[in-house]
Amino acid sequence: MFPQAGLTDRRKFLFAAASVAGVAGSSAFAQAAEQKAPPGAFHFDVPADPTKEQGRAVAADGGYGSRSQFETEVRWRYPTPNDLTSWSMTPLDKMLGNLTPSGLHFERHHGGIPTIDPAKHSLIIHGMVDTPKKFSINDLKRLPSVTRKHFIECSGNGLTEWNKPTMKTVQGTHGLLSTSEWTGVQFATLAREIGLKEGSAWVLAEGADAAVMTRSVPMEKMLKDALIAYGQNGEALRPEQGYPLRLLLPGYEGNTHIKWLRRLEISDKPFMTREETSKYTDLLGDGKARQFSLDMDAKSVITFPSGDMKLPGAGFYNIQGFAWSGRGRIQSVDVSVDGGKTWYPARLDSVPEPICTVRFSFPWVWDGKPAVLQSRCTDETGYVQPTLKQLIAIRGSNGPFGSIYHLNAIQSWAVNEAGDVANVHA
């Protein structure tokens, strides 16, 4: 693949091996060694040999693990006027699997991060029910639970990108997306405990943060797969993800996944809260607004190579990315290296799970000429990820950035002759 580099490296290894053995390492000797080496022989250069001293001492109490000091990736905070309303984005290009490490899960806060003592927290369910009830965290943990892997994506993911390419990196264009394994009680289980009154059709979910975030959720969705989650990736939710309790609505826009959940009110109609009237609606081309656009449509993005990276030269690259759909499993992903003229099937790197990110890859030999990389996914409903032009034709461009929410168009990354990768609209 890189024949030139391969040869130089091999010489270096052989020379180092000769020096380590304590033999005066003249280049003549190295050359002789190379000639004498049996076919297929290889040597390793071990610069700092960790086997020569004992390792770091283990914490007396066993401790809580931390990542290697050499792993330094963090989220990127979109500049906001204060520290209470914020967007912190996941470095998608650094991810090594489908799950997002809890410490790198994206964060979206409207009123800061409350500190909640789980011993004092409870979830109240009332309204059109037979028996209103208050559940402590322990009450909830006694009930049967389920564990599922799901992504959460903010419907504002990519909101700056409608009119023109704005963010430099994939962390900036797509980083309001993360995947965790969630554990909790199904709302359906709680519904049997309280009994739903005839005609109950909507549920108001309310958070215990200073924003008192509230959203109305169709009862059909609540009974289908809503989770009252207390677990994330095998441990309690992170405070930033809603500790000790959050609503998880698989495939729905991130805003509806109410964090620090304290109240569910059952009703026969939606509550028309701020977040579903003035915010989180889509202003269409004809001036009408699309309301309760809750399902996140299929989307994919190439994370390597992606914006602001530099390819060292022509040759082999394993194109990689993520695909996901709020409506089920990803069925297939296609990749184009010529801006969408020709498409090739990509490989899915694991078995796709419903409403969960899946990694894809595509072997690409770059000829050193300008290229435009794109990915396009299809989900199990047959829905195909649209181009930006197709999406704008449907949604119009009446919003402050063209539109705002639910941008799921194909992303383009241009590679120039120098190997610089940039965010473009193609």
Ligand X SMILES: Nc1nc2c(c(=O)[nH]1)N[C@H]1C(S)=C(S)[C@@H](COP(=O)(O)O)O[C@H]1N2
Q: Which residues of the shown chain bind Mo ion in the complex (CB under 5 A)?
A: 108, 154, 254-255
At 31, list the tokens: 């050359």
> Which residue number has the CB closest to ligand X?
207
Nearest CA-CA partner of 164 in 388, 371, 420, 421: 388
Among 100, 186, 255, 300, which residue sits at the site for ligand X (rule: CB under 6 A)? 255
Which residues, including other chains, have CB under 8 Å from residue 62's CB and lie 6 or more apart?
Answer: none
- Could you tell me which of 375, 305, 373, 313 has the C-alpha nearest to residue 346? 375
Residue 108 near ligand X by CB under 6 A: yes
From the list ligand X, Mo ion, none, pick the one residue 215 interacts with, judged by a Cβ distance below 5 to 8 Å according to partner type.
none
**Sole window of 33-41, 119-127, 249-257, 312-320 interacting with ligand X (rule: CB under 6 A):** 249-257
Contact 174, 412 (CB under 8 A): no
Q: Compute φ and ψ for 323, nearest 5 degrees.
A: -135, 150
Q: With respect to Mo ion, which residue has the nearer C-beta, 222 or 404?
A: 404
**Residue 150 lies near ligand X (rule: CB under 6 A):** no
Complex with ligand X: residue 106 or 322, whichever CB lies closer: 106
| Burial zone of 150 (CB within 10 Å; 0-12 exposed, 13-18 middle, 19+ buried) | buried
Q: Which residue in 91, 127, 175, 207 binds ligand X (CB under 6 A)?
A: 207
Please answer whether residues 385 and 331 qualify as being in contact, where contact means their C-beta atoms are separated by less than 8 angstroms.
no
| 110 belongs to the binding site for ligand X (CB under 6 A) | yes
Contact yes or no for 115/150 (Cβ under 8 A): no
Residue 406 within binding range of ligand X, rule CB under 6 A? no
Indicate the residue among 13 and 76 with the shorter CB distance to Mo ion: 76
Closest distance to ligand X from the beta carbon of 205 (Å): 9
Instruction: Pick from 107, 276, 282, 297 the residue near ligand X by CB under 6 A.
Output: 107
Nearest to Mo ion of 108, 359 (CB atom)? 108
Comparing CB distances to ligand X, the nearer of 209 and 225 is 209
Exposed (0-12), middle (13-18) or buried (19+): which is 145, by Cβ within 10 Å?
middle
Locus of tokens 């009119």: 163
Q: Which does 259 bind (CB under 5 to 8 A by kind): Mo ion, ligand X, none?
A: ligand X
The pair phi, psi for residue 405, each rounded to 5°, is -90, 165
Q: Any contact of residue 258 with ligand X (CB under 6 A)?
A: yes
Binding of ligand X by 213 (CB under 6 A): yes
∠ CA 125-130-133 to the nearest 5 degrees? 30
Q: Is 257 one of the binding residues for ligand X (CB under 6 A)?
A: yes
Q: What residues line the site for ligand X (CB under 6 A)?
A: 105-110, 152, 154, 207, 209, 211, 213, 240-241, 254-255, 257-260
